[in-house]
Structures are given as C-alpha cells and as structure tokens.
Structure 1
Amino acid sequence: MKNNMKALALGLLLTTGFYACDKKGNTETATAEQPAATAAVNVPAFNADSAYQFVARQVAFGPRVPNTPAHRACGDYLVAKLKGYGANVLEQPFTAQAYTGTTLNLRNIMAQFNPKATNRILLAAHWDTRHMADKDSVNADKPADGANDGASGVAVLLEIARQLQANPLQGNVGVDLLLFDGEDYGQDAPESWGLGSQYWSKNLLPSGYQAQYGILLDMVGAKGARFAREETSRVYAGDVVEKIWKTANQIGYSDYFPFQDSPGITDDHTFVIQNANIRMADIIAYDPSSPDGFFGPYHHRHSDNMDIIDRNTLKAVGQTVLHVVMTEK
C-alpha cells in the first residue's frame, strides 16, 4: 500500500483538497490505565494464534496480485471462510484500469453479522498484495508476500468473524467486514490507489449502505508496531479515533496505541469518507524512523513476510477492535 508521497500528503481528494504538513507527530503523556467503563460486558478473548494462522494461510497462496491464480484462489478461500462463520456474504466483482493501463479483475467481499440491525459498524482491510516490491534493492519488479501489508488486517477480521459466530451480537448492533481489492496497485497519484474502496464507495453494496462509523486495518501485524492517530482519521472521524485509542489504553495496550499523532495519508478510508460519507478511522502502523518516514522498513520489500508477523501485535489490535464492537450499543 502507498508510496512515500502518500505518507506525506493528506491526499484526501475531498472538497478542501488540503495536504498534511510534513511534521513529526505530537505526543501526549498517556494517562494511567483505568478500568474499562464497559467491563461488565462479556467481551471474548481474541485468539492471536488463530489470527497468525490466518495470515500464514493467505501467504501460502503466494502474492495475491490481481489477475493471478493466487489472487483468485485466495478470494475464493476468504468467501468460503466467511460463509463458514455464518456471515451473510456479498461479492462485488468489477474491473478497474490500473495506472499501467492494465485492466484488473477485482472483487470486493463483504461479510455481514446481524444483518437486520440498523446500527452498523464497518470494519475493513485490503486483501490484495502489491504487484512489485519496488522499495527493495533486489528483485524490485517481483511481488512480496504481503504478510503485513494486506494479510494481517484480513487475518484480524477473520478472527473477529470467528468470534462473532461464537458470540453473536446482541440488540440492534450489526457488524460488516469489508475486504477491499486493488488497494495496492497504485503509483504516485492518490487516485491510482484504493481501487476497491473507490469502486465500493461509489457503488455501495448493499445499495444505500450506511454505517455509524468505520475502522480500517492496514499493516497491523508487524513486530514492534505502534499505531498513531493518523491525521485524516482525526479530522473526519475524531470521535472514532478517540474511542479506539481510549479503549486500547483501558484494556492494557497503551504501548501499541500511544497518544501520538501522525501525518495524513491516502488509504482506503480516504475514499470511504469522501464518497460514502462514512466516518472511518485508520489503524495503521507508524514508524517515523523508517526509510520513508512513515511505514516500516519492510514496506513494499521482500522482507514483508511471515518473519515479521507478531502474535502480540495481532492481539493488541484484534482485542481492541473486538472490544469496541462488542461494547457498542
């Protein structure tokens, strides 16, 4: 997902058309952990071992580059797995033209839990991998495994799906898991990225879809990952950001979710906010010490493989998001 230019620019393509400053994130001292206000709610334990295996299973297909057998096979696996967890699964096949001029055969996948509920929460990730490891000094024209950039977010959502089957949502709250395709087949121009989220947000599935808010997961599985409050998310979904970061700190994951701000980026949440008018926060790893100043040293490199995936990181993100979902009223 995204190149260096995207880390520096807000690239929202919204009516304001402004860009984030190239600045260091502001930090605040995290308050002492307090008992969660929603402690009485029975939130199930997110199984990090299960999520780790979901990452490995996707990687085993090979790079999930659009128009390849690995991509098609992984998509079929995801649909079958989500149906197996009792979700109402919707597929959205479409074609899009990449920046290279190549026509890509793509597919967005949505899995709905408690579909009759009107208070809906949208959780999303992208399931494709980039077509080249263009930041690598070796074999830059070949794709990487995409264990973190793509598979980790999907794996967290698959484990959440498994938990939602075992612990059905109550009342008028429903959750939709949306897997975007074609997120990582871009170059330079912001609109060349996020092809799946652009298509879905302009062609809503189901028709007229609405959600109270959304959470995007991107690169959420690497060892030592830290998640800062990304600027686009703060500006357009500040209350959602606050909910996520407060929850993480309340349940013991302050090391992973410090009260730190990061510059804005173009990601799938950008187009959901812009076109679907759904407030969406992006949980994405931020490493200002990395070569590009935002993403980790494995970003768009062949080092993005199972060696960097950490169960503790998956647990921190998955348990936080599961807690937010299960305590929603």
Structure 2
Amino acid sequence: MPKAPVFNADSAYAFTAKQVAFGPRVPNSKAHVATGNWLVAKFKSFGLKVMEQPFEAMTFDGTYIKGRNIIAQYQPQAARRVAIFGHWDTRPFADADKTNKNAPMDGASDGASAVAVALEMARVLSQQPDSLAPNVGVDFILFDAEDWGHDASTQSDVKNQLEGSGSDSWCLGSQYWAKHLLPANYKAEYGVLLDMVGAKGGVFTREETSRTNARFALDKIWNVASRLGYSDYFRYEDTGGITDDHVYTNQAGIPTIDIYHHNSAGDYFPAYHHATTDNMSIIDRNTLKAVGQTVLQALYVE
C-alpha cells in the first residue's frame, strides 16, 4: 500500500497539552473562546480553508450557550472527500468523579486528544508536495457542545429540560451541523469520529452504530491498523452502540465510524471518563501514534 507520511506523536501530545493549558473548554467561558480562536488560527497556519459555524442552543439544565463548529478543509477542490470529526469542548462538571462531582475537568483525552490528532494530521498533510498528497480531500470538522448532556446514571437528581423537545441533550453541535450542513450539501465517502483517543492503554472496539452504518470504513481502518501492528489498540471485538456525534453525522448521510476508548471490563467507559482524572497524566504518545498513523494511512489507501 502507498506509505503515508509519519504522524508525529510528540506534536500531537503538545497539541493536547496546549488545549488543556487554556483551562476547561466549557461553552460561554473565556477559555472556550480562546481555544476556539487558537484552533481556527492553527488550521489557517497550515494553509487549510477554514469556516466557522456559530450556533446557539439550550442545554439540559437550562443554560443558554453560544457555540461554534469549526471546519477546516485540506485540498478543498478534490471531489472525493473523507471527514475527520471530533469535539473540542469539555464537559462543565466531572459528574462521574468519585469525590468532586461539580468540579470542572481538563478533558485531556475526552476531546483534546481527538482534536490534537486532527491537528497533527492537518499539519502533516499540509507539508506534503502535490506528488505525495492522498487521492482525497480531507475535512476536519470539530463540533462544539458535545459534552453538556444529561447522564441519568450520575444526575438522576437533575431534571433534563430537553426531554421531549426532540433534541438530544448530548451532541448539540453535531445536531446543529447535521441540520445545517457546512459546506452546503456536504458529502463525504465516509467519516471517522475521534473521541477519547489519547489515554494510556487505549482500546478501540467495533461499535454497533459504526458497524451498521459504515461497515466498509470500519473494516478499512481496522485492517490498516492490523497491517501497521496496532491490533493491541484496534480490537476485533463487536460492542454495543453509544450516543456520540457519529449518530448525527450518519443521519446526515455521512457513513461514520466512532473510535473511542472502550473499557471492556465492567463499566462501558474508562475510569477517567467525566472525571477530574482526565488530565495530562493519562495521555500517552503511543496511543496517539496508533490512532493518528492508522487514520492517516487509511487516507493513503484511497
């Protein structure tokens, strides 16, 4: 297979740390605005075509938020396209934390690692001469307000004010994007949603919504991972579906898979999920490398 350029895990690690250093990226906060501005500037510095999609929404607890989705296009003129999705916000409260349920959280793996992988892919692709570019254009689409949802298992005492409204309390940015596609009439051959892809011991399984809607893309990515020697990360294990941004990108007609850290033992998500322990201490360059090199290589088999 044509060899992809090298995905630099040190660079991806630094991009993760940079986002965390802004502080919790909670919509309506200064840190959130600053992070978004930095992401837009970073993609532009790589020579990508960048669009911002501002939106307003109400969260399950009645907070009125201003969000923005960020779209950065590599080779915007290419007819064939692949989408790389992620979310750049953090959950406003660590409600799964053992001791500090209302504390803000860093979201180092849950959000920042996925954005970092997207940024490093964009950086590497932008450096390739035309003769070494992949045969597809790539759209990096970062959703906002993915993580301000109602978790019945940890927040049973809080009313979900969006219940019955027709809007899921999770994935507010991707729900908006799916109804107002940007670019207009957007189409891609497939999409890869990255979410929680930076922690030590990361394990990625074949999630049900991914299998149902984008089996060909799932097989492609897992086969590439296997050929690259990353089968310890990308397991041939079928697991149940989760609510994540890919639910809405699939509804929008983009066959999308979800790559996220699945904890096969007991709890569905790893211990750091929605807890204050989701900080830089759990971020591992080896996991970032496995995911980033695999997805980058998949673009080169098109």
TM-score, normalised to structure 2, is 0.92
Q: Which residue of the partner structure matches residue 100 of structure 1?
A: 61
Worse-matched range after superposition: 63-72 or 252-261 = 252-261
Distance 1:171 1:60, change over 3 A: closer
Aligned-pair Cα RMSD in Å: 1.2
Q: How far apart are residue 300 of structure 1 and its match?
A: 0.5
**Amino acid of the residue matched to residue 296 of structure 1?**
P
**2:168 aligns to what SS in structure 1?**
helix
**Structure-2 separation of matches of 1:197 and 1:327:** 28
Please say if residues 93 and 105 of structure 1, whose CA atoms lie closer than 8 Å, have aligned partners that are also in contact.
Answer: yes
**2:272 aligns to what SS in structure 1?**
coil
Asked whether 1:149 is paired with 2:125, we answer no
Q: Which residue of the partner structure matches residue 184 of structure 1?
A: 147
Match of 1:300 among 274, 299, 302: 274
Where in structure 2 are the equivalents of 1:1-329 lying within 5 Å?
Answer: 38=1, 41-168=2-129, 170=133, 173-188=136-151, 191-274=168-251, 276-290=252-266, 293-328=267-302
How many residues are paired up? 286
Question: Structure 1: which 5+ runs fail to align?
Answer: 1-37
Q: How far apart are residue 327 of structure 1 and its match?
A: 2.4
**Structure-2 separation of matches of 1:136 and 1:172:** 44
**Amino acid of the residue matched to residue 234 of structure 2?**
F
**Structure-1 separation of matches of 2:49 and 2:194:** 21
Deviations 1:145-190 (A, max 9, x none): 1000000000000000101111156475200000000000000468
Q: How far apart are residue 102 of structure 1 and its match?
A: 1.0
Question: Structure 2: which 5+ runs fail to align?
Answer: 152-162
Q: Which residue of the partner structure matches residue 23 of structure 1?
A: none
**Structure-1 separation of matches of 2:103 and 2:127:** 40
Identity over aligned pairs, percent: 57
Q: Which residue of the partner structure matches residue 159 of structure 2?
A: none
Please say if residues 134 and 299 of structure 2, whose CA atoms lie closer than 8 Å, have aligned partners that are also in contact.
Answer: no
Please say if residues 233 and 241 of structure 1, whose CA atoms lie closer than 8 Å, have aligned partners that are also in contact.
Answer: yes
**1:258 aligns to what SS in structure 2?**
strand
**Amino acid of the residue matched to residue 293 of structure 2?**
Q
Q: Which residue of the partner structure matches residue 27 of structure 1?
A: none
Q: How far apart are residue 42 of structure 1 and its match?
A: 3.3
**2:85 aligns to what SS in structure 1?**
strand
Deviations 1:54-75 (A, max 9, x none): 0000000000000000000000
Deviations 1:75-123 (A, max 9, x none): 0000000000010000001101101111111000000011011100000
**Structure-2 separation of matches of 1:234 and 1:75:** 32
User: Runs of 4+ in structure 1 displaced over 3 angstroms?
Assistant: 168-172
**1:42 aligns to what SS in structure 2?**
coil
Deviations 1:299-323 (A, max 9, x none): 1110000000000000000000000
Q: How far apart are residue 137 of structure 1 and its match?
A: 2.4
Worse-matched range after superposition: 183-192 or 265-274 = 183-192
Q: How far apart are residue 240 of structure 1 and its match?
A: 0.6
